[in-house]
Amino acid sequence: MFSTRSGESDIRKEGQVASSNVSIDECYDGFGATFKLYYDISIRNSIDDSGEQLVGHVRDSSPFNNALWDGCSMVFGEGDGHYFNRFTSLDIIGHELTHGIISYTCNLDYRGQSGALNESLADVFGSMVKQYHLKQTAVDADWLIGQGLFTAQVHGTALRSMKVPGTAYDDPTIGKDPQPSDMQNYVHTEDDWGGVHINSGIPNHAFYIIATALGGYSWERAGQIWYATVCDTRLPQNADFNLFAWLTVHNAVKLYGKYVGDLVASTWRRVGVEPSQAAAY
């Protein structure tokens, strides 16, 4: 099921003992933790739900300050050691694997609001991978994506904060976290494929509020609602925030009744998103 590579050589396959490469072993363990979350909460069997092998490539031959899903495998950088550490934390691995799952389910277009939803879903499930592994309740979790990724040279705690978008970092070299937490501060830009990594802060924040309001573990109810929406055949590739919100409300009512549905709807309105089948743009 799992294999992690450096260059073109397999370093560690499923069932093998730990290697001497920290990044390889973090990648391997992160694959296992992500597979376990999806299997335990939704009985999903790997990315394609049919047992697809999870393959990770660790880029250690030259500095690579990124992690990505390339359409068939995961690629993780070890950072430059100056601004960035290894890109192999649990939540980042869960984030990238979720992009793979999205490609097999709703396959959201990677631009504008649908792209921001794509990024947000990866953050939501990436955070839940970490929470599930640590057995943290929604209230106890830090809701940070990429905590520890920055070196001591950077003034910042993580790449993103789902709890308080826009506060993850503020540094003279790399700038200030640009994420908004509501539609009033939505960023209209042509950069970053229409702001997919920026405006994802809005649905991220909505999920955080819902998960903590429901209490307990985030994967028990909030995560189930989001997963049902990811798999909902009514979710089109070009979905905007409004339509996605409407589907989460519908799935919340279907799974847990009107009270939870009303809570989900009121939370979306709190961040300035009106749950609606009509396109907002």
The residues annotated as belonging to the active site are: 96, 197
Phi, psi of 154 (to 5 degrees): -110, 135
Are 78 and 60 in contact by the 8 Å Cβ rule? The answer is: yes
- DSSP code at position 184: G
CA angle (273 as vertex; 240, 256 as ends), nearest 5: 90
Are 204 and 160 in contact by the 8 Å Cβ rule? The answer is: yes
> Which tokens sit at 7?
């260059």
Contacts (Cβ under 8 Å, ≥6 apart) of 50: none
Beta strands in the chain (DSSP E): 2-6, 9-13, 54-59, 67-69, 74-77, 144-145, 160-161, 170-171, 175-176
Which helix (H) or strand (E) covers residue 201, if one does?
A: helix 201-214
Question: Where do the H-state alpha helices sit in 55-111?
Answer: 90-104
Give which of 106, 214, 84, 216 is closest to 152, Cα–Cα: 84
Backbone CA torsion sign across 266, 187, 139, 249: positive
